């Protein structure tokens, strides 16, 4: 109900005709009152000010899961995206493997020569991430083509990827061959740490991981156990953990959306 609409119990009063003289006096009073109220009003209140500056949006690169794509993640994130649309411009990209008829940002195998096994590298013994070099090059190319980006958001294997990309972040904002990326925060949803020993060395760059990070964990997640998500969060210097009672999803519940919105609002101040 609009604020100015009558309440259900109020019957509208019938309009009563007013004598001509009373109408004239009433109009004169309104004109005088309007002149008095606008005489000392600032120009901005009367519409003379120029257009207001639009608030800046944060540009966020969004990384999908193992069997996902940019289109799928956009659908999975729809409720969350609606809740943060005033703060963020979301840029969705496909893993480079999709163009070759494959899937995933990498496949966890015993050795590079092994065929893809359908293992995203969530847990288990030390593995080799087949396809990492191609993914690394593709992400750097996306930063050059569509950047700059203020932050990353990853889901599932895309969250694990975001965790590794933080290790490629130039903490001083000056990209190098070793740390070619520049961004300021990460949002990690159902992520897990790398079990590729070679890539795990990226976590040793503590200054790269000294950035704001928000970690969303599902208490009923059967794909990425919550302990794995906590282990990835522990790689960051100042992680903020948000748990929900759902499973392996990008939650769109009010509580989680509010926390993400607050996190992004802080980045704008």
The CATH number of the domain where 235 resides is what?
Answer: 3.40.50.1820
> Distance between CA atoms of 226 and 194, rounded to whole angstroms?
15
Q: Global pTM?
A: 0.80
CA-based nearest residue to 92, from 66, 72, 106: 72
Q: Is 22 within a domain?
A: no
**How many Å separate Cα 195 from the centre of its chain?**
26
**Is residue 51 predicted with pLDDT exceeding 60?**
no
Closest by alpha carbon to 77, among 250, 267, 233? 250
Residue 116 has pLDDT above 50, yes or no: yes
pLDDT for position 54: 54
Under the banding of pLDDT at 50, 70 and 90, the label for residue 35 is very low
- DSSP class of residue 202 equals G
Q: Which residues contact 173 (CB under 8 A, 6 or more apart)?
A: 182
- Catalytic residue annotation: 156, 221, 248
Distance CA 207, CA 185 (A): 13
Q: 152 is in which domain, residue-wise?
A: 59-267
Bridge partners of residue 90, in order along the sequence: 60
Comparison of pLDDT for 265 and 36, the residue scoring more: 265
Q: How many CB atoms lie within 10 A of CB 37?
A: 10
At 118 the three-state DSSP class reads coil
Number of helices (H), then strands (E), belonging to the chain: the values are: 8, 8
- Direct distance between the N- and C-terminal alpha carbons of the chain, in angstroms, rounded to an integer: 35
| Interval 160-205: pLDDT, tens | 999 999 999 999 999 999 999 999 999 999 999 999 999 999 999 9
Q: Which residue has the tokens 């522990």?
A: 234
CA distance 211 to 207: 8
In a domain, 110, yes or no: yes
Task: Mean pLDDT check: name the lowest of 22-26, 204-208, 241-245.
Answer: 22-26
Pairing of strands 151-155, 88-93: unpaired
The reply to whether 233 falls in a domain is yes
Instruction: Report angle CA 54, 56, 61 to the nearest 5 degrees.
Output: 140
In percent, the amount of the chain with pLDDT more than 70 equals 80
Mean pLDDT, the chain, as a whole number?
Answer: 84
DSSP 55: P
- Which is higher by pLDDT, 159 or 16? 159
Is residue 18 very low, low, confident or very high in pLDDT (cuts 50, 70, 90)? very low
- The domain tally of the chain equals 1
Return all residues near 49 (Cβ < 8 A) that are at least 6 apart: 43
47 — phi, psi (to 5°)? 90, 10
Q: For residue 169, what are the CA distances in angstroms to 72, 184, 207, 234, 266?
A: 27, 9, 9, 17, 20
Whether 239 is covered by a domain: the verdict is yes
The whole-number pLDDT of residue 226 equals 97
Indicate if the pLDDT at residue 135 is higher than 90.
yes
Domain for residue 11, yes or no? no
Q: Is the pLDDT of residue 46 over 50?
A: no
Indicate whether 128 belongs to any domain.
Answer: yes
What is the model's pLDDT at position 91? 98
In a domain, 112, yes or no: yes
| Beta strand 185-189 pairing with 128-130 | unpaired
1, part of any domain: no
Q: What distance in Å separates the CA atoms of residue 38 and residue 30, rounded to the nearest whole number?
A: 12
């Amino acid at each position: 109900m609009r604020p100015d609409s009558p309440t259900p119990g109020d019957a509208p009063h019938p309009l009563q005709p007013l004598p001509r003289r009373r109408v004239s006096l009433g109009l004169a009073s309104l004109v005088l009152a309007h002149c008095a109220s606008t005489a000392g009003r600032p120009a901005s209140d009367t519409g003379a000010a120029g257009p207001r500056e639009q608030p800046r949006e944060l540009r966020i690169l969004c990384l999908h899961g193992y069997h996902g794509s940019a289109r799928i993640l956009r659908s999975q994130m729809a409720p969350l995206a609606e809740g943060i649309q005033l703060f963020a411009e979301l840029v969705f990209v496909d893993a480079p493997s999709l163009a070759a008829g494959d899937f995933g940002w990498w496949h966890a195998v015993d050795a590079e020569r092994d065929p893809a096994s359908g293992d995203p590298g969530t847990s288990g013994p030390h593995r080799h991430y087949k396809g990492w070099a191609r993914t690394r090059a593709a992400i750097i190319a996306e930063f050059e083509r569509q950047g700059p980006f203020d932050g990353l958001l990853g889901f599932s294997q895309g969250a694990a990827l975001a965790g590794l990309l933080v290790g490629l972040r130039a903490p001083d904002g000056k990209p190098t061959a070793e740390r070619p990326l520049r961004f300021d925060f990460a949002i990690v949803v159902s992520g897990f740490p790398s079990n590729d020993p070679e890539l795990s060395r990226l976590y040793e760059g503590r200054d790269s991981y000294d950035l704001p990070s928000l970690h969303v964990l599902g208490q009923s997640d059967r794909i990425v156990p919550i302990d794995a998500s906590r282990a990835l969060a522990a790689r960051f210097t100042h992680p903020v953990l948000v748990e929900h009672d759902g499973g392996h999803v990008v939650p769109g519940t009010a509580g989680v959306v509010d926390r993400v919105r607050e996190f992004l609002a802080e980045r704008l101040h």
